[in-house]
A = this chain, B = another copy of it.
């Protein structure tokens, strides 16, 4: 049946209601949030599946209302399709009547640790300066300089237009255009990093927010759409239809290689993303993700692991991240063991991105640590100060201990991370995955990439060592 439901969580419990007809069957997420705000009140939390999720297409994400009723995304893994398959259009969370705070076992200790932690965030150059000023898009010029910015479907690691779509240009446009534009916008109340922004058009009118590096890379470098405004409109359209901006951007670039649309054609790409609300057959292909684009175009060069798109860091010229792509249980997830920190940003030490030495341990240790940090509900960006500033790491553990009355040690955190990864890999094994799924596509082994003439040269045995703990 075509009926969809709303799951409402409040102090009265959980209720299931019919979804309003006007938000079903193609309604964009911006409009749907407006309608749900009107119905349930402007203060409720909303997580919803967009049209792509309703159609159960694999690039569908879950869209989450931010403080200004714009959109943040639970992007990867096709969660929107899961919601759609359960016929859940949206989850509404209404905290009316809820206590002002969760109980904290040791409030003084919590406050003290939080203060140390917050100071570390502000002191660290990545979280204190780079991210608030330029957003994650600060990475475009850095990766281009490093020769690790995959361009034109991973055929080169550097291009001559990167700055057009980089964080410095984003900052300059926002600043010059004024109006709705905001640098350093927090995606949730109380955020002290504020890596988000409001990116406006030439007249200062809001286009999109949370306009991330991976999106600007995917469209701006990998798909050769060299105009940041065109990329911004596509980013907005992806949020509106509810598809992951990494999966979809890489799918667009792969479709360009397959001849489905011209290289660099931002207008054609925008139209295709908008058509995902219908969806047209071509939009179905793209919203099904990069793997399906590869199949329907009969391509060999398809940048995926476990059928999920490889993001914005070339694994040949930043070798540590290649090991994370290959071995992370969800496939090609850079955030699962973000070796860019150490390979490129020299956070937590330095491991030469072009050499194999040290990468196995780096990817393994970061994946273990990240699985633990992810379990706390902390933003992944806390990892920068946590890796560099010993007090920040201890403050994180102290906050958990103070909140729950625990007495965790750093070793416990490592064990937590390991146990999470083992559960995830155990799930994969039961679903039929083997170590042969922990591999990059063959073309990375066959095509050296400019400017470093770098190749993917880890053996299967070496790759399998990453998760051998």
Residues of A at under 8 Å CB distance from B? Answer: 55-58, 81, 84-85, 260, 280-282, 284-285, 288, 292, 295-300, 430-432, 434, 436-437
Contact = CB atoms under 8 A, between A and B. Distances in A.
A295 B434 contact: no
A21 to B, nearest CB: 19
A207 to B, nearest CB: 28
Contact of A56 (B56, B57, B298): B298
Contacts of A299: 56
A62 to B, nearest CB: 15
Given A55-B298, A285-B296, 12 more contacts: A56-B297, A56-B298, A57-B296, A281-B284, A281-B285, A284-B297, A285-B285, A288-B295, A292-B296, A431-B436, A432-B434, A434-B434
Number of copies: 2
Contact of A57 (B282, B298, B431, B436): B298
- The residue among A56, A81, A431 with the most chain B CB atoms within 10 A of its own CB is A56
Contacts of A81: 298
A432 B284 CA distance: 28
A285 to B, nearest CB: 6
A426 to B, nearest CB: 14
Nearest to A284: B296
Contacts of A300: 85
Contacts of A284: 281, 285, 296-297
A295 B58 contact: yes
Contacts of A430: 436
Given A56-B298, A295-B58, A434-B432, A260 B288 contact: no
A81 B285 CA distance: 19
A226 to B, nearest CB: 26
A307 to B, nearest CB: 10
Contact of A295 (B281, B282, B292): B292
Contacts of A85: 298, 300
A228 B395 CA distance: 75
Contacts of A285: 281, 284-285, 296
Contacts of A84: 298
A431 B432 CA distance: 12
A284 B57 CA distance: 17
A19 to B, nearest CB: 17
Contacts of A56: 297-299
A275 to B, nearest CB: 10
Nearest to A299: B56
23 contacts: A55-B298, A56-B299, A57-B296, A57-B298, A58-B295, A81-B298, A84-B298, A85-B298, A85-B300, A281-B281, A284-B285, A284-B296, A284-B297, A285-B285, A285-B296, A288-B295, A288-B296, A292-B292, A292-B295, A292-B296, A430-B436, A432-B436, A434-B434
A81 B284 CA distance: 22
Nearest to A436: B432
Q: Which of A284, A288, A296, A430 has the most CB of B within 10 A?
A: A296
Contacts of A432: 434, 436-437
A469 B57 CA distance: 41
